[in-house]
A and B are shown apart, each in its own frame.
Chain A
Amino acid sequence: MCSNWLTRLNRHNRRLDPDIDDNQQLHRTPRMTHPIIRFDHATFGFPGTVALEDISLSIPESEFVGVIGPNGSGKTTLCRAVLGLMAPVSGTLRVLDCACEELRCHHRALIGYLPQKGMLDRNFPVTVLEAVMMGRYGALGLFRRPSGKDRDIARQALAQVGMDHHRDSALGALSGGQQQRVFIARALAQQPRILLLDEPTTGLDLTAQHSVVELIEQLHHELKLTILMITHDINMIRSRVDRLVLLKTRLFAAGPPQDVLKPEILSQVYGKELVITDKDLIIVEDYHHHH
């Protein structure tokens, strides 16, 4: 089933993106030399604030990157930048061989995105399948109606996250973890090459957190997607990602988890309250409960 998916994915992308020739498509998986996302001294900001400053970072295709950093450190901004929703103030960002400010709709359709905020309105009348079908809309283009094939792709994506039996349920009636799975399915229904996940486990109970992270890990292995996953749960992803990126407006570190998760590096960003226990668990010291 997994290879079937991958073939479909390849075929689909080829049809979608005329800029990429067939040769490149067929051999894209091991092209580690050519980054799919490349920040080059890029700075992003809002009027009056600099959200990300002088970022240089290359992400090769099929890499699983974890992004960590305190609140307001620019993690969500990083996602929005990759989606081409913000132009760099200075420097450049190239995504899918295209300057991010010139990303067109057909490029964005190749980037699956799970936004940080969860469900907006539990009463919004949308079924699970309708919500996942929305993932197909960008790739389909204007004026075209979804066909039976799009429906199959959406159902396959739902099956991948283990939610196919809920396809006719109201989205608002699902639990937070189930909704998160549906939104991951929507991103997968785009048949993306890049998956951006902004705090996919926040607000979920421990079991749901684990199953969502395991799902993401499994998707990475099966589909060889390039994944950028933002999280505050360092302990949860440290063993799963290829590389960790530590942000606090600037890029403080980027490398294998064991190189980044060092007290001297982390304390630069999180301050002194951070404690690494003898079991290698990282906790933020709570000063109401000194031991």
Chain B
Amino acid sequence: MLRASRLRETMLELLAYDFMQRSLLAAALVGAVCSVIGVFVVLRGLAFAGAGTAHAAFAGVTLAYLLGLPPLSLAIVFGLATVWITGWVEEKGRMKLDVSIGILYTATMALAILFLGLMKTYNPEVYGYLFGSVLSVTTEELLTIGGLSIVVLGTILLLSKELYFIAFDQEMAAASGVPARQIFYLLLTLVALTVVIALKTVGAILVFAMILIPASTAYQLTHSLTQMTLYSVLIGIFCAVTGVLLSYAFDLPSGPSIVLLATSLFFLAVCCSPKRLHRIQAE
């Protein structure tokens, strides 16, 4: 009891700090954007592609530091290039998707390590993009995150019915008069933008967990597309905000706090999944 009330006091104090407001807002935005795009990524089977994109975006960040450019600019370029190549390979079907992504994934990681090696001095900021540091988000970064979030969420809101359809069955969507190919590339573009939005807060290594886990958790819980999206967003925001608070309260790194919280929820959902229980009964 005593502990709980002390915890509440600490939380209230925390909210008075500027940096805390910034990081909570950033976390909430990142949680929302990642969990919404995650629904389409999970349903369309693009999970692995997104993981590759995150590492490519990090390679972009390292190159930007090397050249003295704004880090997120090259992150976007690298992220988009990777995600478009992935889409193109899937479309052509000349190569197994996991093979081509595996190659891109490791190649961009090798580039990142190469660029890090070329930097003559140790730069802790770069590692912030690798591991995430939501507590040090600046006002400008928050504005960038906010702007990109509006773009991504707005696009999804406008084209949600097409995005759902291509996630369900892209060929069928094309056959019934949806410009499916264009929508598919748009989805890939949104994935790359989301990765970039989340890069600073959760870091390149963990960003994909933020996209994957809330949506996969929601996937366990419902049979309806709209409900899955709703659950995913709620889980995403909850994990991001609570993760930041926990990380501050217990002096833990923020990225892992968010991701491990989400992972625990995921396993809880798997155990209690109505779908799974249904299947066990059927067997």
Contact partner of B223 (CB less than 8 A), chosen from A120, A139, A170, is: A170
Q: What residue of chain B has the Cβ atom nearest to residue A183's Cβ? A: B172
Rounded to whole angstroms, the CA-CA distance of A109 and B172 in the bound complex is 11
Residues in A neighbouring B226, C-beta threshold 8 A:
130
A271 at the interface (CB under 8 A from B): no
- A125 with B177: CB separation less than 8 A: no
Rounded to whole angstroms, the CA-CA distance of A131 and B227 in the bound complex is 14
Contact partner of B222 (CB less than 8 A), chosen from A111, A120, A125, is: A125
A115 at the interface (CB under 8 A from B): yes
- B168 with A142: CB separation less than 8 A: no
Rounded to whole angstroms, the CA-CA distance of A123 and B171 in the bound complex is 19
Rounded to whole angstroms, the CA-CA distance of A143 and B178 in the bound complex is 11
A131 to chain B, nearest CB (A): 7
- B162 with A137: CB separation less than 8 A: yes
Residues in B neighbouring A140, C-beta threshold 8 A:
161
* Per-residue contact bits, chain A 118-142, to B (CB 8 Å; 1 contact, 0 not): 0010011111001100110111101
Q: What residue of chain B has the Cβ atom nearest to residue A83's Cβ? A: B175
B153 to chain A, nearest CB (A): 15
Rounded to whole angstroms, the CA-CA distance of A98 and B43 in the bound complex is 34
Total interface residues in chain A, CB < 8 Å: 38
Residues in B neighbouring A190, C-beta threshold 8 A:
176-177
Point out which of B161, B222, B226 has the most chain A C-beta atoms below 10 A from its C-beta. Answer: B161
A168-185 CB contacts (< 8 Å) to partner B: 169-173
Rounded to whole angstroms, the CA-CA distance of A115 and B158 in the bound complex is 28
A→B interface (CB under 8 Å): 83, 85, 105-113, 115, 120, 123-127, 130-131, 134-135, 137-140, 142-143, 145-146, 169-173, 186-187, 190
A-B contact pairs, 27 of them (CB 8 A): A110-B177, A112-B176, A113-B172, A113-B175, A113-B176, A115-B175, A120-B169, A123-B275, A125-B223, A125-B228, A126-B223, A127-B223, A127-B224, A134-B161, A135-B176, A137-B173, A138-B173, A138-B176, A139-B177, A140-B161, A142-B162, A143-B159, A146-B161, A169-B223, A171-B223, A172-B223, A187-B176
